[in-house]
Amino acid sequence: MILPIYLYGSQVLREKAAEADLDEREELTKLLEDMYETMKNADGCGLAAPQVGRSLRVLIVDGSDLADRYPELADFIRRMINPVFTFKSEEMCTYCEGCLSIPNIDADIERPKVVRIKYIDENFREKEEEFDGFAARMLQHEMDHLDGVVFTDRAAPIRKKMLGSKLNNISKGNVTTSYRVKTDKL
């Protein structure tokens, strides 16, 4: 089921999401399916549960549409429940980011280049993996959503200032998207 995506300015995007209850397997499996369908419908490469109005520590990423630029991502799909960082490199790197909750805006964001994450996968098995490059980038962006942080919070002050009125418009729902969106007011 395709769900509406909550826009910048929605309260749920600013909350610290709760740990998912691993006993609720059926519900979590359904949530992961709905999130995947919602993300693909919106041509996104990542989505966190708060973006569909569920304040839970659940995220998905899919790099297949980015394979032109990043061939290593052709088969890169992860579904993560209750992910936690176990390592962040001191080495940083910068990529241009965007977000389905903040349509038509992008910004260069600096983050650690390599991260390691411990998580529960879609088969409810515990895993720990290291990610580098754009895969690490996508995951850090989605992990931020679980703590109520959006990428524009991390933009350079001057860029943030330039984006101010656009962000304000988005929070009022004054934005055109190819997918269904929601704000606290809409």
The site for Zn ion (CB under 5 A) is made up of: 99
**Nearest distance from C-beta of residue 97 to Zn ion, angstroms:** 8
- Pair of tokens at residue 82: 């209750």
Question: Kind and range of the H or E element at 27?
Answer: helix 25-41
**Nearest distance from C-beta of residue 181 to Zn ion, angstroms:** 13
**Nearest distance from C-beta of residue 22 to Zn ion, angstroms:** 24
Q: Closest residue (Cβ) to Zn ion?
A: 99
* CA dist., res. 66 & res. 68, Å (int): 5
* Residue placing its CB nearer to Zn ion in the complex, 35 or 99: 99
Question: At a CB cut-off of 8 Å and minimum separation 6, what does 103 contact?
Answer: 7, 170, 175, 176, 177, 181
* Residue placing its CB nearer to Zn ion in the complex, 15 or 21: 15
Where in the sequence numbering do the catalytic residues fall? 142
Question: Kind and range of the H or E element at 119?
Answer: strand 114-120
* Residue placing its CB nearer to Zn ion in the complex, 90 or 143: 143
Residue 101 has what DSSP assignment? T
